[in-house]
Structure 1
Amino acid sequence: MFNNTELFKAAFIEQLVSRLGKSLEEATAGDVYQILGVLVRERIGRHWAQTNETYKKQQEKQVYYFSMEFLIGRLLGNNLLNLGVLDTVRDGLLDLGWDFQEIEEQEQEAGLGNGGLGRLAACFLDSLASLQYAGHGCGIRYKYGLFEQKIVDGHQVELPDNWLQKGYVWEERRADKRIEVSFWGRVEISEENGRTIFKTADDEKIWAVPYDIPIIGCGRPHVNTLRLWSAESAVDPAKLRVHGEDGYYKFLDYNRSVESISEFLYPDDSRYEGKLLRLKQQYFLCAAGLQSVLRTFEKLGLPYSQLPCKVAIHINDTHPTLTIPELMRILIDEKGYGWDEAWDITIRTVSYTNHTLLSEALEKWPVQMVRELLPRVYMIIEEINKRFCGMLLERYPSQPDAVSQMAIIENDQVKMAHLAVVGSYSVNGVARLHTELLKQDVMKPFYELFPHRFNNKTNGITHRRWLLHANPELGVAISESIGTAWIESPHQLLELEPFKDDPAFRDKCMSIKRGNKLRLAEYIRQKQGASVDPDSIFDVQVKRLHGYKRQLMNILHIMHLYNDIKDDPAAERVPRTYIFGAKAAPGYYLAKCIIKLIHVVADAVNKDPQMKGKLQVLFLENYSVSLAEKIIPAADVSEQISTAGKEASGTGNMKFMMNGALTIGTLDGANVEMHQLLGDDNIFLFGLRSEEVQDYYKYGGYLARDMYERDPRIKRIIDQLVSPGPFCCHELEFGVIRQSLLDHNDEFFVLRDFGDYAKTQAAVDRAYLNPQAWAAKSVINIARSGHFSSDRTIRLYASDIWKIQPVGRQLEG
């Protein structure tokens, strides 16, 4: 049905009539989307089954990627692209009177993630399938995503993200594969045939019901699975009614408690109840996912000693760390293995990616909470800790501090990062700098103990979504210049580099960029009623709002530019349009104040006639994958300005680079490797280096008030936060921001880097005034971006960590 336009149109109309009972004239855009989803599912159904059958028959080693987030975005366009039928469908729909872009807009984005962690997981799944590895995702089917962001009078307001309200065409409920998960209860210990038996009594049982989403490989009949778990009641309410009304209401309380487990992504954990719910979610994911994995393994008929040869379980950050003690529980309590055998199997099966250098993001759980909610699992964690600390005492007999520093349980807290390192065979960082900081600082004692476990795997992005799909005209221009081999082998984008000297190609790239800017400008006009100059520099910072990502430095610099223009309105300026997109965590008050400040500054700038043609500021609400696909191809400048040593890697930086934006950034995360690839001439660097930041943290020597007193630009804008004028509508509105910078000594060195940032931004202006040189730099960025494809990253995971091979030949055979 997808072989040519006419066959597609006939199949589409037939399905529209048979499934919905509607003629083409009666159909809505939502109907068209639903039918397209059905047609794609029918197309790939046989391949999905064939892929799974091949894995079983060939006994391929399979990877299971456990993650609390999978930010997969809209799937329709990406699936059609990977199937190689996007042009056929687009042309066919046009013949039938429908614009494909309008149909894509009908798809609700899956509320399964928040930011870079979840988007990385989605890119990895795409690469696993496209490279024909046996690799699947395991997550939670949240009823509501993080939240839908609305801006009301400049303030962030959180609304429920009810993404499942109209159903989800890509998922398949697998009720026959449900898993029982238990909480609470007490552990009963007995002896049986000389063996200690552990059983949990009086526990609360729930069902984990899987919903499967096909992950379609590009250009080949290879379909992996993203399995998402939904929590459902395991108690029949009819049986409770016999106990009277009170029993029935107890069921309602129980049922509400169960449903809450898969209701929200990242519930507020500022209170005990929220912390408990997060812990429940994490164990729910680990227990259900692990039992499902072991069911598949058992079909091979092999002893569990062979598990590490056939299964690789990868935990994405610390959230799924309970996989380690849960696997131990199953092996000991249910499969009859002794401790040493079970431990050997576990640490050869589980691998761990660390995603953060922030101490507050390295999860810890109160001992009492873990002990009460997961009694048997806690016993196992306790035993792991006891044995590990015993080993440490033998190794460091005169260093008791080393033991307490590395213990898994310490100060009535269970340290999940410590458990993840001790219970896995591989620990990887996500950029060279990040991995070195892990080894030399954050996890130094663990690196000294287990040096062979630590390795680096710099993050990557799928060029299929972020170039071919998000920026199709650029994809065509590249293929017309160097052929199409780069689509399968993105490192071949390097062949594009000589075209930096080709005026026709440079002009083509800049024409495509301007077209993308015009489309974004039209989107902004429709959403916000604002007119945007497509010939201005589109300077973009879109990412989660956090102190270390330093959106604050960006907006303070815009305040400085405003002051500059007001002081000398006749001076020539390079027009700039600053675009922000960010969500702040609901309980993160400072971040919310920064969002308000951005809007106050935007209001002052955009209403001032002296700024017209010189400066404009926009905040695009509810930043998401689909919005990123509109913004990133239109960007001229990419803001990657985090405090050096704080951003583990970043992937937005790679997406902008791949689409020809030039980066202004610090030497942080993957920016370091971008700089090594691009050289000084094709990236704009500024600010402290990570070692300088570390020295300030360790030895002091930085006083933010000195910067405030010495630099009149800084003093002026900081005072403007709390003094009557264009940026202060109430004297207390931004006092917390001023306080964070001066009274709390500017934790993320915003003021320390401000002067260098302003100087570098001036260099960006000068560079933009030479459009041919700018275009050449843009081409170089695109040509060298293939290094950051997630295909490269996944090949390294596959060869160095998971020890798996592609299975494509068997599938195609």
Structure 2
Amino acid sequence: MDKNVFIEKFTGKLPKDIKAATPQQLHSALGETVMELFADKWNESRQQHLSKRRAAYLSMEFLVGRAVYNNLLVLGIYDDVEKAFSELELDLSSLEEIEDAALGNGGLGRLAACFLDSAATLGLPLDGYGIRYKYGLFKQSIVDGFQREDIDDWTRYGDPWSVRCDEDTVLIEYSGQTVKAVPYDMPVFGFRTENVGTLRLWQAEPVKEFDFDLFNKQNYLEASKEKIFAEDISRVLYPNDDTDDGKKLRLKQQYFFSCASLMDIIKKHKARYGTLDNLADCISVQLNDTHPVISIPELIRQLVDNEGYTFEAALAMAKKIFNYTNHTVMQEALEKWRTDLVEELLPRIYAIIIQINEALIADMYAAGVEKDKINRIKIIKKDLIHMADMACYASSHINGVAEIHTQILKDSVLADWFSLYPERFRNETNGITQRRWIALCNKELSALITELLGNDDWINDLDKLKELSKFADDENVLRRFIDIKQDKKQQLADFIKTHDDITVSPDSVFDIQIKRLHEYKRQLLNAFSILWIYYGIKDGSIQNFKPTAFIFGAKSAPGYRRAKAIIKFINEIGRVVSSDPDTRDLIKVVFVQNYNVSYAEKLVAGTDISEQISTAGTEASGTGNMKLMLNGAVTLGTYDGANIEIVQEAGEENNYIFGARVEDLEKIVPDYDSRKIFAEDAMVRKVVSSLIDGTVSDGGSGDFRELYMALLDGASWHAPDHYYLLGDLRDYVETKLRCIYDYSGDRISFAKKQWLNMCNAGKFSSDRTIADYAENIWGICR
């Protein structure tokens, strides 16, 4: 990049008094300048993608995060831009104030963003399709220990990294409503390549903005009704769906982006080839979980109703085009839609789903499949449409996202489908992009890696980190690593102080759990362990405890009462330990506000101990575990998801594994009695009783009592202690204490464990994952 050309273009977009420019003005000018400089490169890539077999990634979520720093890094212009800012007496770090594009809820959306990054870097023709939500997930604040939600208006200062493409607007039809889907394109720049991917996000807008006649008749709200109802579709990610209206809105969202994306794919294909007969030869569509599975009947609808194909030909084409990634083993998360809702909102789609179901049943009878199995796998069961079954029937490939997860799918969740189509099943262990998750967020450690390897080729080939294992016994290298870790902890502590007004000592152990707040991820187990340690210090059974900061980052879904109660409980424990002079200097509990991608970049770099404590068999993979490992943290976790592969790569001796395994739980669960553990283990009883004995307060909501009863007697659909917290608690505490004592007892030996985790993180690059998808599922190449 010519720095002088950059400065000329950049300053031309700023106010005359450059030094008075706000961070938002600087960001807008910078984004627009970079987009102009690399527009030709992007346009060339679009045409190249259309000229060969390509893939489309359909996802309800793309947790992109803040684009500016990552884009500068991967384009190779970060240092040049930083110098240009410096010459203008500006500070590039001021752009830390820029909002994240929080268009996702957690791992599912962040994975999608990592995949696009890797595909662009590998030169692969993969593009993403999703929804351009008006408001991100939500902005979280912690008030009196409770989560509070507010809108996340991430585009209120503009969005220089997106381009509106009105010429590609399409109409989406529901029963009684038609809306426009307007695309906004984001470039996905590859690292050291000319390839640029595209993330196309659809925004819902009304066909008729405003009814002047109604307004003239003083029906003011009615005059804007169409605009409001249309924009609701892309207003918020995952609207509350505990009523039929909420369910309809979610279904509208899923159909909205699926229909628009397929129309876009078909339009572009016809423009190039003039026929759809070869559509399956030229496009592969990945369905990221069940949210976009409605694409299957929608593609058939478009082929039959708009293009003149028979249902049979359209179904055969769909089976070749679609592939399905399963992200969960939990039945409640495998989407099911009531038939009456689908028929009311999308009558033509419902009619096609009936045809698909009938075709499935006919195929099964023709293959001699027993009736009981047919009844288990058919798409429509009573009054529910089972989206995972439709995906399994009409996809070329079905994949899980970690070795144990895929095996569970084969053995239980999708066992009937595996018995029918074993050749369709693959494992694709998730991955993360090393560009954002170490090269960008941990420049100090990246510089050491580059120095020791002699070059920075590792940023394109993460397996090269394995060569650094030879330094695991080099005390000089380990001390440099410790110094870097300490610097990152200091930076994190400074940010927590600025962002949350909480003081944390960087000299303490940083034990960190960052992920979506859900019962199966067991933040409550972590909270219980902290209380256990507190009681142990108080009664003298735990001595010489190293000062430890237990840091949480998580958001609960707004309507998830039990998860929100856990947030309050964690903060109450923080109040208890910090107000006690015996523990205030030993235990610090921090629940950071508004955890997002940008906060995660700071947290992963400063972590000593990575908490990955889901009940064995419940976490499909996890990707936070990979980010923390890559930045030199040990895993304190269960034998679950990708934790298993992490310890296979880095060695169980370099991590801290506890708890019942999947095979153990299969034997334990049938006769499991949480009240028996509660009765027999005095410390378990003391810790759990804190929910009701006045140790902590839920503000009179009754939520802590409900958590208590759920653990001991069950609640709603939960069996008692459904996620086996009480059963794993003692082993977890003992393993956590061993980990903390190892850190304080021999810092060099602990640093060796951390170093070897980083050295063996190569497998968990999303480059490896995407290369495998490209070769074995999508059939695409550079």
1:346 and 1:782 mapped to 2: Cα distance? Answer: 42
For 2:114, the aligned partner's letter is C
**Pairwise CA distance, 1:242:** 8.5
Counterparts in 2 of 1:237 and 1:691: CA distance versus 1, 3 Å: same
Counterparts in 2 of 1:25 and 1:725: CA distance versus 1, 3 Å: closer
1:531 and 1:269 mapped to 2: Cα distance? Answer: 39
**Pairwise CA distance, 1:284:** 0.4
Equivalent runs, 1:103-142 vs 2, <5 Å: 103=95, 105-142=96-133
Matched, 1:15 2:15: no
Q: What residue in structure 2 maps to residue 232 of structure 1? A: 205
Q: What residue in structure 1 maps to residue 717 of structure 2? A: none
Residue 497 of structure 1 aligns to a residue whose secondary structure is helix
- Match for 1:616 among 566, 588, 603? 588
Q: What residue in structure 2 maps to residue 54 of structure 1? A: 48
- Match for 1:592 among 541, 552, 564? 564
For 1:533, the aligned partner's letter is S
For 1:330, the aligned partner's letter is Q
For 2:392, the aligned partner's letter is V
Matched, 1:758 2:733: yes
Q: What residue in structure 2 maps to residue 79 of structure 1? A: 71
Equivalent runs, 1:385-404 vs 2, <5 Å: 385-396=357-368, 399-404=370-375
**For each residue in 1:606-630, what CA deviation from the matched residue of structure 2 results, as whole angstroms up to 9, or x when unmatched?**
1222113311111001110000001
Counterparts in 2 of 1:222 and 1:382: CA distance versus 1, 3 Å: same
1:370 and 1:150 mapped to 2: Cα distance? Answer: 36
CA contact (8 A) 1:723 1:731 kept: no
Q: What residue in structure 1 maps to residue 689 of structure 2? A: 719
**Pairwise CA distance, 1:249:** 5.8
Kindly, what percent of the aligned residue pairs are identical?
A: 40
Residue 206 of structure 1 aligns to a residue whose secondary structure is strand
For 1:747, the aligned partner's letter is H
Counterparts in 2 of 1:339 and 1:14: CA distance versus 1, 3 Å: closer
Matched, 1:93 2:72: no
- Match for 2:194 among 200, 214, 221? 221
For 1:527, the aligned partner's letter is H
**Pairwise CA distance, 1:724:** 2.8
Residue 761 of structure 2 aligns to a residue whose secondary structure is helix
Range with bigger deviation, 253-262 or 437-446:
253-262
Q: What residue in structure 2 maps to residue 465 of structure 1? A: 436
Matched, 1:29 2:27: no
1:65 and 1:802 mapped to 2: Cα distance? Answer: 11
For 2:179, the aligned partner's letter is I
**Pairwise CA distance, 1:89:** 1.4
For 1:804, the aligned partner's letter is I
For 1:63, the aligned partner's letter is A
CA contact (8 A) 1:722 1:730 kept: no
CA contact (8 A) 2:14 2:26 kept: no
Equivalent runs, 1:545-564 vs 2, <5 Å: 545-564=517-536
CA contact (8 A) 1:123 1:461 kept: yes
- Match for 1:102 among 94, 116, 119? 94
**For each residue in 1:760-798, what CA deviation from the matched residue of structure 2 results, as whole angstroms up to 9, or x when unmatched?**
112202321211111111111111001100000000000
CA contact (8 A) 1:722 1:732 kept: no
CA contact (8 A) 2:631 2:758 kept: yes
Matched, 1:538 2:530: no
Q: What residue in structure 1 maps to residue 161 of structure 2? A: 170
**Pairwise CA distance, 1:224:** 1.2
Residue 709 of structure 1 aligns to a residue whose secondary structure is helix
Equivalent runs, 1:210-609 vs 2, <5 Å: 210-235=183-208, 237=210, 241=213, 245=217, 250-396=222-368, 399-482=370-453, 483-568=455-540, 571-609=543-581
For 2:487, the aligned partner's letter is G
Cα RMSD (Å) of the superposition? Answer: 1.8
Matched, 1:783 2:759: yes
Matched, 1:676 2:648: yes
Report the count of equivalent residues.
775
Q: What residue in structure 1 maps to residue 773 of structure 2? A: 797
Residue 461 of structure 1 aligns to a residue whose secondary structure is coil
Residue 299 of structure 1 aligns to a residue whose secondary structure is helix
CA contact (8 A) 2:28 2:159 kept: no
2:543 and 2:325 mapped to 1: Cα distance? Answer: 51
Counterparts in 2 of 1:15 and 1:529: CA distance versus 1, 3 Å: closer
Equivalent runs, 1:698-717 vs 2, <5 Å: 700-717=670-687
Equivalent runs, 1:634-653 vs 2, <5 Å: 634-653=606-625
Counterparts in 2 of 1:469 and 1:246: CA distance versus 1, 3 Å: same
1:726 and 1:143 mapped to 2: Cα distance? Answer: 38
CA contact (8 A) 2:510 2:548 kept: yes
CA contact (8 A) 2:377 2:389 kept: yes
Residue 205 of structure 2 aligns to a residue whose secondary structure is strand
1:355 and 1:696 mapped to 2: Cα distance? Answer: 25
Counterparts in 2 of 1:590 and 1:131: CA distance versus 1, 3 Å: same
**For each residue in 1:5-54, what CA deviation from the matched residue of structure 2 results, as whole angstroms up to 9, or x when unmatched?**
xx26xx435533x3344232332322222211112111210101111223
Range with bigger deviation, 217-226 or 638-647:
217-226
**For each residue in 1:725-757, what CA deviation from the matched residue of structure 2 results, as whole angstroms up to 9, or x when unmatched?**
356775945111111111112000000001110
CA contact (8 A) 1:312 1:350 kept: yes
**For each residue in 1:401-438, what CA deviation from the matched residue of structure 2 results, as whole angstroms up to 9, or x when unmatched?**
22221110112011111111111111100001000000
**Pairwise CA distance, 1:160:** 1.0
1:730 and 1:377 mapped to 2: Cα distance? Answer: 47
2:541 and 2:49 mapped to 1: Cα distance? Answer: 68
CA contact (8 A) 2:300 2:318 kept: yes
**Pairwise CA distance, 1:396:** 4.7
Counterparts in 2 of 1:722 and 1:237: CA distance versus 1, 3 Å: closer
Equivalent runs, 1:739-758 vs 2, <5 Å: 739-744=709-714, 745-758=720-733
Range with bigger deviation, 790-799 or 525-534:
525-534
2:341 and 2:298 mapped to 1: Cα distance? Answer: 16
Matched, 1:685 2:657: yes
Q: What residue in structure 2 maps to residue 42 of structure 1? A: 36
Residue 281 of structure 1 aligns to a residue whose secondary structure is helix
**Pairwise CA distance, 1:303:** 3.0
Q: What residue in structure 2 maps to residue 182 of structure 1? A: 173
Matched, 1:204 2:166: no
Counterparts in 2 of 1:435 and 1:241: CA distance versus 1, 3 Å: same
2:273 and 2:590 mapped to 1: Cα distance? Answer: 59
**Pairwise CA distance, 1:250:** 4.7
Q: What residue in structure 2 maps to residue 198 of structure 1? A: none
For 1:550, the aligned partner's letter is R
Q: What residue in structure 2 maps to residue 199 of structure 1? A: none
2:20 and 2:335 mapped to 1: Cα distance? Answer: 53
Counterparts in 2 of 1:558 and 1:175: CA distance versus 1, 3 Å: same
**For each residue in 1:162-216, what CA deviation from the matched residue of structure 2 results, as whole angstroms up to 9, or x when unmatched?**
11211111111111110111111xxxxxxxxxxxxxxxxxx53211000111110
CA contact (8 A) 2:548 2:588 kept: yes
**Pairwise CA distance, 1:134:** 0.7
CA contact (8 A) 1:431 1:669 kept: yes
User: Unaligned stretches of 5+ in structure 2?
Assistant: 715-719
For 1:805, the aligned partner's letter is C
Q: What residue in structure 2 maps to residue 191 of structure 1? A: none
Matched, 1:662 2:634: yes
CA contact (8 A) 2:492 2:603 kept: yes
CA contact (8 A) 2:214 2:223 kept: no
